[in-house]
Copies of this chain bind each other. A is one copy, B any other.
Amino acid sequence: MVMISLDHTHDPAVRSWLDSANVVGTDFPIQNLPFSVFRRRGMQESYRGGVAIGDQILDLAALTATSALDGFPLQAARAAAQATLNDFFALGPNAWRSLRHALFVLLHEHAAPARFSTVRSCLVAQVEAEHTVPARIGDFIDCYTSLDHARNCMRIMYPDADVTTNFRWMPQAYHGRVSTIGVSGQQFHRPMGQSVPPGASAPVFLPSARMDYELELGIWIGQGNAMGKPIALEQVDEHIFGISLLNDWSARDIQVWEMTPLGPFHAKNFATTIAPWIVTADALAPFHTAWTRPVADPQPLPYLESPANREAGALDIRLEVSLQSERARREGRGPARLSGTSFRHQYWSIGQMVAHHTAGGCNLNPGDLIGSGTISGPGPGEAGAMIELAHGGQKPVPLGDGDERGFLHDGDTVVMHGWCEKPGAARIGFGECRGTVLPALVV
């Protein structure tokens, strides 16, 4: 994602004929054009691909039934109009880019006025839509690539231990659960599981008492690779379709007990929530920044090192987490902000994650999902998980209404937002990733 060059679709001065796309602070200006799979709520319709513009969704199934597109963009739009985006992903970057450019022309304020009514007839208001997981996910892995997160957690969970030596040598990862990935709005029951209460010598089987979230990004694989043919760091760009917000819900008490030696299992596999919108790698092109690491740290092995990655491997995506308790919802208050940071602090880049993932011969398929790992920044209010913010529950975080949280309560809704902004570029937003903890089902 470091070699994508800027073109006219990144020009912040361009406006759409659709007014809501030009509103200051919108997540979805004409320069963004993120993808999702949606249908109108309560209409018994089929799910199909759509592209966000302002407060609307451009329905690709409807659009491909008009004469607005032809040639290669039409072919790409037909693939993207299905109930999953996998076929569209598999077409590769030229198809993704040709459709982006064609939609940009159709939505541009200088589009041929005859187009307006055709395209307008294909719009569905976002407030009328519901979304689903946008691809058939073959495999989901979750990384561990924020040094600040790793340090914070080690301090809390194993006070005498430093971050493991291997952390600075490779973007670590584990395979996660596909079947419990849900889209924003997901509600799930607090998991039951084994944990060892403080002072106890044997585990109990109870609802998790230390429910947490993890602020992450989900990286969507576009084109895959063949088994035994790793993706070199320099080639990663051709394989990344785009990025969503992702919440890697975690039960910390279950995690501490089960994690040695095989890693997290029950502690994570009960639910993972993704935002509906996949922001394309193309839309994020203006927001790359230099990737650096402390001079005292080991320099990456050659397969994790490239000049382009050093120059532009980091991505400045701003992120924010907030929490709405059941009481706040009942009393009509919105979510309270918990923390905010940027993905640019991440110790390992997306390119390095993908290069490492495939270095042993593992193949990726279109629609595979890579969790970035928790994103915590260096400052005190920049942690991406409650366990860090509340120091393992010891210093609960105030919610501003007299309430506070050490870990999540039943009824809590965690809301994540992400956006990119800088002078000379249009603001690119990620929408919202929202999920709610329901009480445990004790059988």
Stretch at the interface among A54-62, A354-362, A424-432: A354-362
Distance of A156 from chain B, by nearest CB (Å): 13
Instruction: Give the CA-CA distance A227 to B249 in the complex, in Å.
Output: 15
Give the chain B neighbours of A443 by CB distance below 8 A.
230, 232
> Interface segment, A3-11, A80-88, A316-324, A363-371?
A363-371
Tally of this chain's copies: 2
B residues near A174, Cβ cutoff 8 Å:
174-175, 262-263, 265
Pair A360/B266 contact, Cβ less than 8 Å = yes
Whether A197 sits at the interface, judged by CB under 8 Å, is no
Q: Is there an interface contact between A175 and B265, defined as CB atoms closer than 8 Å?
A: yes
Given contacts A265-B172, A269-B360, A362-B180, contact A228 B188 (CB under 8 A): yes
In the bound complex, residues from chain B placing their C-beta under 8 Å from that of A262 are: 144, 172-174, 263-264
Question: Is A303 among interface residues, defined by CB-CB distance under 8 A?
Answer: yes
Of residues 185 to 203 in A, which have CB atoms within 8 Å of B's CB atoms? 188-189, 191-194, 202-203
Q: Which of B139, B173, B194, B257 contacts A178 (CB 8 A)?
A: B139
A189: which of B228, B261, B270 is its contact (CB, 8 Å)? Answer: B228
B361–A192 CB distance below 8 A: yes
CB <8 Å contact, A359 and B265: no
What CA separation (Å) do A131 and B178 show in the bound complex? 26
Please indicate the chain B residues that have their CB under 8 angstroms from the CB of A188 in the complex.
227-228, 361
A145-B174 Cα distance, complex, nearest whole Å: 19
For the complex, is A334 an interface residue (Cβ under 8 Å from B)?
Answer: no
Q: Does A301 contact B (CB under 8 A)?
A: yes
Q: Which residues of B contact A46 (CB under 8 A)?
A: none
A362 to chain B, nearest CB (A): 5
For A253-277 the 0/1 string (1 means CB < 8 A from B) is 0100111111111100111000000
Instruction: Using A188-B227, A227-B188 as known contacts, say yes or no to A180 and B363 having CB atoms under 8 A apart.
Output: yes
Q: Are A177 and B179 in contact (CB under 8 A)?
A: no
List the B side residues contacting A363 at CB < 8 Å. 179-180
Q: Collect the chain B residues with CB atoms within 8 Å of residue A298's CB.
A: 202
Contact A258 B166, beta carbon cutoff 8 Å? yes
| Contact partners of A441 in chain B: CB under 8 A | 228-229, 361
Measured CB to CB, the closest approach of chain B to A254, in angstroms, equals 7
Selected from B175, B202, B259, B264, the residue in CB contact (under 8 A) with A269 is B175
Whether A138 sits at the interface, judged by CB under 8 Å, is: yes
Which 9 A/B pairs are nearest by Cβ-Cβ distance? A263-B263, A191-B360, A175-B175, A174-B262, A262-B263, A270-B361, A266-B360, A189-B228, A269-B362
What residues make up the interface of A, taking CB atoms closer than 8 Å to B?
A: 138-139, 141, 144, 164, 166, 169-170, 172-180, 188-189, 191-194, 202-205, 227-230, 232, 251, 254, 257-266, 269-271, 298, 301-303, 356, 359-365, 368, 441, 443
Taking A177-B362, A188-B361, A261-B263 as known contacts, 4 extra A-B pairs with beta carbons closer than 8 A to each other, sorted by chain A number, are A166-B257, A172-B258, A193-B360, A202-B298
Can you name 30 A-B residue pairings with CB atoms under 8 Å? A138-B179, A139-B179, A164-B260, A169-B194, A170-B194, A170-B203, A170-B258, A172-B258, A175-B269, A179-B227, A179-B362, A179-B363, A180-B227, A188-B227, A191-B360, A192-B360, A192-B361, A193-B360, A205-B301, A251-B360, A254-B360, A259-B261, A259-B263, A261-B263, A262-B263, A262-B264, A266-B356, A270-B360, A270-B361, A270-B362
